[in-house]
Amino acid sequence: MLKKASVVVGALVLLLAIGLMVVTKLPALNVQVPELQPSGELTEVNQGWNDAQRQQFHHTAQGTRLVPYAWFKALEQPCFSLIGCKLFADPEYLGRFGFIPSKPDPRSNPDGLPVGFSYQKDFYDPMTGKVDPALGLTCAACHTGEIRYNKYSLVIEGAPATIEVTQFQKALGLSLAFTQLVPFRFGRFASRVLRPNATDAEKAELKKNFTEFMANAKLEIDATNKKKIYVNEAGFTRTDALTRIGNQVFAVDMKNDDNYAVSNAPVRYPQIWDASWFNWVQYNSSIANPIIRNVGEALGVRAVAKLYGPDASKFENSVHVEGLWEAETLLSGPAPFQGLQSPKWPAVFPAIDTAKAPRGAALYKQHCAGCHLPPVDELIVDLNSPKPAHWWKNSQGKQFLVVTDVKMDYVGTDPREAADFIARTADTGALNQGRVSAAAGLDLVTRGIGTNYFTKMGFSPEKQIEWSGYRDPKDVAVRAVAIYKARPLNGIWAVGPYLHNGSVPSLYELLSPQAERPDKFWTGSKEFDPVKVGRNVSELRGGYLFDVTTTGNSNKGHEFKDGPKGNGVIGPALSPEDRWALIEYLKSI
C-alpha cells in the first residue's frame, strides 16, 4: 500500500514538474533577457563628480514607487519551482535587465541595490494618506550607462542606460502575481516581510494590502491590454517617455481610461550632461522649465498624483521635489559646463588617430556645426564674449545655450515622437479645463505640483525661480512643435545607438547612406566597438531584435547623400575616408 502511494505521489510530482516546464515556455509567462554580462575591471571616467556625488545621483529618492520596499526585498523571481525561487532583488538577477551594480550605503542604499533604485523611508501615498518605505526608481536608472571593452568596465554618468524596462516590469508583475496565486509562495513572502512568528492579525493585514495593490494593478493592466497600448516594445536602451508620462498623468492619475494613447514612439534615453543649460530639452524640443521636466519624469516613473475627485485641484502627490532639486543641481552645476561633464575618450580604448582627426574637424565645421554647434571649448569662449552668438540671456540674467531646432520634415528621421505629442489631447476631468493638448495638460499638472510645493514650503519668488533653474515663470515651459533639436556632440561616442529612436547602431553607419544601414540588429549588449563607435549588435540570446520596419523604428533621415538638401538629406555623400576622419574627431570632443 505504501509502495503504491509513493508511486502515485511520484507520478504527481513528475506531472507537476512537466507542467511547470510547459508553463514557463508560454510567452506571457516568459521573461526574455540575456544571461548576466559579467563586469570587468572597473575603470573610472572622470566627469567632475566624486564618489559621494555619484552615490547621491544614483540613489536619491524622487517620490516614485514600484512596490513597498519590504515587499521588493521579499519577492521571489518569477520562476516555477517546487522548493521556491531566488529573491527578485538579487543584484545578479537585476543585472540581467541591464541594471548596474552599486555599493551599499546605510542612508540611500542600505541593501546594495543597483544604480537607479531608491529607498524612500517616508514615501507619502496621497490616496491613503499613509507614509511607508517604498522602492522606487531615479533618473539615474535610465541615464547611467555602462560600457565594456576587453577586460574593462566603464560607468558613464548621464549616458543612456542599457536596460530593458519592459521586461523588468513584466518580471516584477509576474513575481507579484505568482506570490498571490501559487500555493505556499505567499507564506514565504509573508515570513520575509513580517517575521516567522508574526501574528494572524499582521498576516491578515498584509494579505489585505497585497490584494488591494494587485486589484488596482489589474485594472490598469486590463485597460492597457484591451486598448493594446504597449504592444510595441521598445527593447533595451529605449522607452516611449512622453507617451508613458502622458498615460500615467492623464489616464492613471485622472482615472480616465479614455485618455490612454498607444505607445508608438520609443526613443533612446538621451545623454543629460549640459541639458540644464539648454533653452529647450527633449528630442522634440518640448520642455524648458526643469521643475516641470523633472516632476513629469517622476510621474512617468510612478510617482503618485491624485488628479480626480472634488479635491483634484489640490494636486496631492508623492513627488519628492527636494530629491529632484538635488539631482538637477548635481547635473547643472553653478553655470554652463560646470556640472556633470561629458566623458572623454578613455585611455583604455585604442588611441585616437591624430593624423585623421584634423581632417575630421574640418568636415565637422563644414557639415555638422551648422546644426550641432561648435565644440564646447568654442562655446565657452562665445559665452564669455561681449555679444554671444549661441547664447540667450533671459529676464533673470542667466545664459542658456540656444540649441538648433530642425524641422521634422527636413531632417527626415522617424516622425512619431514629435507627431504623436502634437496630436495628443486629454480630457482634464475634475481639473475643469476641458479637453486640452498634451503640452497644455502636462504644463497644468506639473506646474500645479511645483507651485503647490513652493507655497507649502513658503518659498520666496526668488527661491521659486532658483528651484526652477532660473527660468522666468512667465516664459513658455511646454510646447508641441514639428521639430527635433540638434544638441552639441561632446561625448557622442558614449551614447549609441544613434538617432533619437536608437535606430542606427554606430557612428559609422550614421554617417553612411540610409541604404547602408542595417534593417535589423540586436540590442542589449554592453560590449563596445571602438572602431565604428557603437555596441556589439550581433545576435544576443534574450536581447531585443531591432527591426526598422516596426512603427517608430525608422532609420531614415539625417542622411549624407548627393542631391538637394531636405526630406532627410542633410549633406553630401561622404567617402569612407571622410567618415573615418569624422569619427576620429568625434571621439576627441
**Measured between alpha carbons, how far is 506 from 546 in angstroms, rounded to an integer?**
14
Q: Please state the length of the chain.
A: 589
**Measured between alpha carbons, how far is 512 from 495 in angstroms, rounded to an integer?**
18
One-letter amino acid at 541 equals R
Does residue 280 contact residue 477 with C-beta atoms inside 8 Å?
A: no
* Mean pLDDT across the chain: 94
How confident is the model over 349-369, as a mean pLDDT? 98
One-letter amino acid at 577 equals E
Which residue carries 507655497 as its cell?
455
Asked if pLDDT for residue 5 goes beyond 50, the answer is no
Q: 500 lies in a domain?
A: no
Over the stretch 244-287, which tens digit does the pLDDT of each residue have? Answer: 999 999 999 999 999 999 999 999 999 999 999 999 999 999 99
How confident is the model over 529-542, as a mean pLDDT? 97
Dihedral sign computed on CA atoms, order 279, 282, 283, 285: negative
Asked if pLDDT for residue 294 goes beyond 70, the answer is yes
Whole-structure pTM value: 0.93
Asked if pLDDT for residue 14 goes beyond 80, the answer is no
How confident is the model over 17-22, as a mean pLDDT? 40
In whole angstroms, what separates CA 361 from the centre of its chain? 32
Over the stretch 87-131, which tens digit does the pLDDT of each residue have? Answer: 999 999 999 999 999 999 999 999 999 999 999 999 999 999 999
Asked if pLDDT for residue 19 goes beyond 60, the answer is no
Q: 450 lies in a domain?
A: no
Which residue range forms the structural domain that includes residue 15?
A: 1-30
Over the stretch 204-221, which tens digit does the pLDDT of each residue have? Answer: 999 999 999 999 999 999
Does residue 402 contact residue 392 with C-beta atoms inside 8 Å?
A: yes
DSSP 343-394: PPPPTTSPPP-TTTHHHHHHHHHHHTHHHH-S-HHHHHHHHTSSS-SSEEE-
Q: 243 lies in a domain?
A: no
**Measured between alpha carbons, how far is 442 from 420 in angstroms, rounded to an integer?**
14
Q: How many domains does the chain have?
A: 1
Q: 100 lies in a domain?
A: no
Q: 9 lies in a domain?
A: yes
What secondary structure letter does DSSP report for 402? -
How confident is the model over 283-300, as a mean pLDDT? 96
Question: How, if at all, do strands 391-393 and 399-401 pair?
Answer: antiparallel
How confident is the model over 397-415, as a mean pLDDT? 97
pLDDT in the model for residue 553: 98
Within 10 angstroms of residue 354's Cβ, the number of other Cβ atoms is: 9
Nearest to 249 by CA among 321, 293, 299: 299
pLDDT in the model for residue 9: 36
Burial of 275 (0-12, 13-18, 19+ CB in 10 A): buried
Cell triple for residue 562? Answer: 548627393
Asked if pLDDT for residue 532 goes beyond 50, the answer is yes
Does residue 463 contact residue 477 with C-beta atoms inside 8 Å?
A: no
Q: 532 lies in a domain?
A: no
**Backbone phi and psi for residue 539, each to the nearest 5 degrees, phi listed first:** -55, 130
HEC sequence for 307-328:
CCCCCHHHCEECCCHHHHHHHH
Give 44's pLDDT tier (boundaries 50, 70, 90): confident
How confident is the model over 484-491, as a mean pLDDT? 98
Percent of the chain with pLDDT over 70: 95
**Measured between alpha carbons, how far is 132 from 409 in angstroms, rounded to an integer?**
49
Q: 197 lies in a domain?
A: no
Cell triple for residue 56? Answer: 547621491
Name 94's Cβ contacts closer than 8 Å, sequence gap at least 6.
Answer: 88, 113, 114, 168
Give 26's pLDDT tier (boundaries 50, 70, 90): low
Neighbouring C-alpha atoms within 13 Å toward the C-beta of 128: 9
